[in-house]
Chain A
Amino acid sequence: MKRIALLLLAALLFTLALSACSGGDELVCEDTIGCVTVAPDEPITIAYMLTISGATAFLGEDSRGGIQIAIDDRGGKLLDHDINLKGEDSGCSAEGGQTAAQKLAADTQIVGIIGSSCSSEATAGLPIISEAGMLMISPSNTAPALTDKEGTWHPGYYRTAHNDLFQGRVAADYAYNELGARTAATIHDGSPYADGLQGVFANRFKELGGTVTFQGAVNVGDTDMRPILTNVGAGSPDVLYFPIFEPEGNFIAAQSKEVAGLENTILFGADGLLSESFPSGTGPAAVGMYLSGPYVEGDAYQQLLAKWDTKFGGSPPSGFHAHAYDATNILLDAIEKVALKGDDGTLLIPRQALRDAVTATAGFRGVTGTLACNETGDCATGEALGIYRITDAEVSGGNWPPEAVWTP
């Protein structure tokens, strides 16, 4: 009995001595906002914060697919560690964004977040994420305030989606110059995305010399659009711009044909309505409608679509999967660049250095074009935006996406 105890003691001393020897090059965190330590056999955790339930689920499912493909492309591994993708549903609302952000911020193993889907989620969730030292790269937030230092910007925010300052401007330019419109009306749904976008559109349209006859709003969940359309119709505008989502967008488009004064009005929407179910859901009223939205082309994109088809079947439900793919790659590249590796395979990922590395992204050749991030996190250069016109082929023929009538 005594002998066994002695033997155990010896073994203990031996291991202690060993560990003392290897302690010489211990990784030390010198980052100002902390580090993530990944033990040798543990995965690197990244997370998504997207809307994957409710009416806007198509938007989040689309981006999540892009993230998963980007991870698959690396064989699910980074620096010899597995990549673990966690996720929270943020429901395309401010409350949802805040809850999801709190949950994610509580998990200190998360290195970075891909998200959010909707600008309202980011407006509420970003302060929490930023405070936790994490960074988030959004594939589809487009509200201008998010990358404006005077607005709701916080350190650690980036996006691969276009800024609406650009989208609203392109739409107004197209309506005024190409469609010859001189009067316009706008409708938003109270979300920061739609309100911001219609504001940019209206201002640019006025700048060009046009007149804005009406700027109004509906509620999310409204189905009867005749009252507001009657109001719009009183001014008989050349263009009605409503950068909102389904199903409110469908109701506006379909009911606009029944209201006096809108017989010759051209309907114009934005990327929130650029989904496969919009034209068939709206019916004949959608024919001739214009939509601005992400426009991605090239071989790399075709390959991405092929991978989507193999992995999930069919085509992506919305237009931001390529942006999510690029966002994920920017994040993973940056981790690769800044991570410190210990002898036993332990990783130390300094958070501020990671943010700096993403900010320094320049000449990144992604699927959505060549990306370069500025200091407030706008990484898209506006190359990937087009204007589409819906025809009968999309409404009754099941064709998707429609043909782009304008590209940069």
Chain B
Amino acid sequence: MEDLRRRLDGVSWVDLFLWGLRIVIILLIVVGAFNTLTSGKYTITTWISLSISGLAQGSIYALIALGYTLVYGILLMINFAHGEVFMAGAFTTVFIANYFNRIGFLNTYPLLAILILMVIAALVSMSVAVLLERIAYRPLRGAPRLVPLITAIGASFFLQYSFRGFYGSGFQTYPTVTALSGTFTVGKVTIPVVQVVVFFAAIALMSGLYWLVERTKMGKSMRAVSEDKEVAALMGIDINRVIVFTFAIGGMLAGAAGVINGLYRPQGVYFFMGFIPGIKAFTAAVLGGIGSVPGAMLGGLFLGVIESIGPNLVLEGLGIDGANQLKDAIAFTMLVLVLIFRPQGILGERLSEKKA
């Protein structure tokens, strides 16, 4: 009896509340999913095709999320203008893609054309990211951490409205690539070719990044700077060069993601298109463990799939109206849930005092 009381004294109300919250959320998910699955409204093929389109969407989130995570890993700052870096590449390249389509180049040599587009978009986004670092962030390197964060939000608006000035406020559309517009069937599931291509293109880019960070000298410098800037500098590493390189890599991935996004979802290319994917990618980065490269990849894919199947699976089973309007709620509930169980994110390392 005395022993029990002592153990209960050690449990704070906050802990109890958090445990209650975990149980309630998990119960809701289980009940919702059970109701939906037993109602028989959707077949197993529906879930598979939703998951596959979620993976395609998630791989785009992942590519953008890598930019957040790389910069955070090195500077411990959140580059909120990264969504606009993605927009810069996607928005600029849409005009070139349409030109390629008009002269017939896109459909005669689709692979070459898409590669060229990705390189152009990567270069544009890289330039924007590098300029952003040089003009907006470097002068504030020593400032308190809130300062560059606010600057990033300002830079985000600046970029949005600059690009509105360059290309107008209208909606642009990527051309459809005939070679990618078919579908193929595995068992009973029909899969659009473009989703598979998008997924593997993103995986290829991410593997390239992983190799770069883990196996090259530059990658080693990046890891060293992320560990401790001062000591890295003492070892003869040019910190500014490493930081610029990091922004450049993040920018290139975002630019390539812009073209991949255009293949997957051609409509709605305009100056504001980077905002929502930027927020989602940031969520994905936190979900996977900010600062961790594999974490960003996993977080992106996870978020894409959850968004795709979550509303229909969980919310509909709970009898909630307008389930699909709440898909962001699903995504962010997942984030809260993951952070309650693992505050460092799925693959994140436990941060030391200094970093956190």
- Mark A residues whose CB is within 8 Å of B: 53-55, 57-58, 190, 215-219, 221-224, 226-228, 230-231, 234, 246-248, 250-251, 254-255, 258, 260, 277, 280-283
Main SS at interface, chain A: helix
Q: Is the CB of A224 within 8 A of B171?
A: no
Known contacts A216-B325, A283-B176: A223-B46 contact under CB 8 Å: no
| Chain B nearest CB, measured from A211 CB (Å) | 16
| Chain B nearest CB, measured from A251 CB (Å) | 6
Q: Is the CB of B322 within 8 A of A227?
A: no
Q: Is B156 interfacial (CB-CB < 8 Å)?
A: no
Q: What separation, in Å, do the CA atoms of A94 and B258 have in the docked complex?
A: 31
How many interface contacts (CB-CB < 8 Å) are there between A and B? 98
Known contacts A223-B265, A224-B307, A227-B311: A247-B270 contact under CB 8 Å: yes
Q: Is the CB of B322 within 8 A of A217?
A: yes
Q: For chain B residues 258-274, which have a beta carbon within 8 Å of chain A?
A: 265-268, 270, 272
Q: Is the CB of B324 within 8 A of A228?
A: yes
Q: Is B323 interfacial (CB-CB < 8 Å)?
A: yes
When C-beta atoms are compared, the residue in chain A nearest to B304 turns out to be A224
Q: Is the CB of B50 within 8 A of A247?
A: no
- CB neighbours (8 Å) of A254 from chain B are 266-267
Q: Is the CB of B316 within 8 A of A231?
A: yes
Q: Is the CB of A224 within 8 A of B53?
A: yes
Q: What separation, in Å, do the CA atoms of A388 and B145 have in the docked complex?
A: 55
Q: What separation, in Å, do the CA atoms of A58 and B190 have in the docked complex?
A: 38
- CB neighbours (8 Å) of B312 from chain A are 227, 230-231
Q: What separation, in Å, do the CA atoms of A388 and B316 have in the docked complex?
A: 34
Q: Is the CB of B328 within 8 A of A219?
A: yes
When C-beta atoms are compared, the residue in chain A nearest to B327 turns out to be A227
- CB neighbours (8 Å) of B50 from chain A are 226-227, 230
Known contacts A231-B316, A251-B267: A224-B169 contact under CB 8 Å: no
- Mark B residues whose CB is within 8 Å of A: 41-42, 46, 49-50, 53, 57, 169-173, 176, 190, 192, 265-268, 270, 272, 275-277, 307-309, 311-312, 316, 321-325, 327-328
Q: Is the CB of B267 within 8 A of A258?
A: no
Q: Is the CB of B268 within 8 A of A251?
A: yes
Q: Is the CB of A281 within 8 A of B267?
A: yes
Known contacts A281-B173, A283-B173: A246-B42 contact under CB 8 Å: no
Q: What separation, in Å, do the CA atoms of A231 and B326 have in the docked complex?
A: 14
Q: What separation, in Å, do the CA atoms of A216 and B41 have in the docked complex?
A: 16
| Chain B nearest CB, measured from A254 CB (Å) | 6
Q: Is the CB of B173 within 8 A of A230?
A: no
| Chain A nearest CB, measured from B240 CB (Å) | 36
Q: What separation, in Å, do the CA atoms of A55 and B275 have in the docked complex?
A: 13
| Chain B nearest CB, measured from A18 CB (Å) | 55
- CB neighbours (8 Å) of B328 from chain A are 219
| Chain B nearest CB, measured from A255 CB (Å) | 8
Q: Is the CB of B308 within 8 A of A224?
A: yes
- CB neighbours (8 Å) of A57 from chain B are 169
- CB neighbours (8 Å) of B171 from chain A are 55, 246-247, 250, 277, 281
| Chain A nearest CB, measured from B298 CB (Å) | 19
- CB neighbours (8 Å) of B172 from chain A are 281
When C-beta atoms are compared, the residue in chain B nearest to A189 turns out to be B325
Interchain CB contact (< 8 A) of A230 among B46, B266, B270, B277:
B46
Q: What separation, in Å, do the CA atoms of A250 and B170 have in the docked complex?
A: 13
Q: Is the CB of B322 within 8 A of A55?
A: no
- CB neighbours (8 Å) of A258 from chain B are 192
> Could you pull out 10 A-B pairs where Cβ atoms are within 8 angstroms?
A216-B324, A218-B325, A223-B276, A231-B316, A231-B324, A246-B171, A260-B190, A277-B171, A281-B173, A281-B267
Among the interface residues B169, B172, B324, which one has the most CB atoms of the partner chain A within 10 A?
Answer: B324
Q: What separation, in Å, do the CA atoms of A341 and B265 have in the docked complex?
A: 61
Q: What separation, in Å, do the CA atoms of A190 and B321 have in the docked complex?
A: 12
Q: What separation, in Å, do the CA atoms of A224 and B56 have in the docked complex?
A: 11
Give the top 10 A-B pairs by smallest Cβ distance, nearest first: A247-B268, A228-B324, A250-B267, A217-B325, A217-B322, A221-B276, A281-B173, A57-B169, A226-B53, A281-B171
- CB neighbours (8 Å) of A215 from chain B are 321
When C-beta atoms are compared, the residue in chain A nearest to B169 turns out to be A57
Interchain CB contact (< 8 A) of A216 among B173, B176, B323:
B323
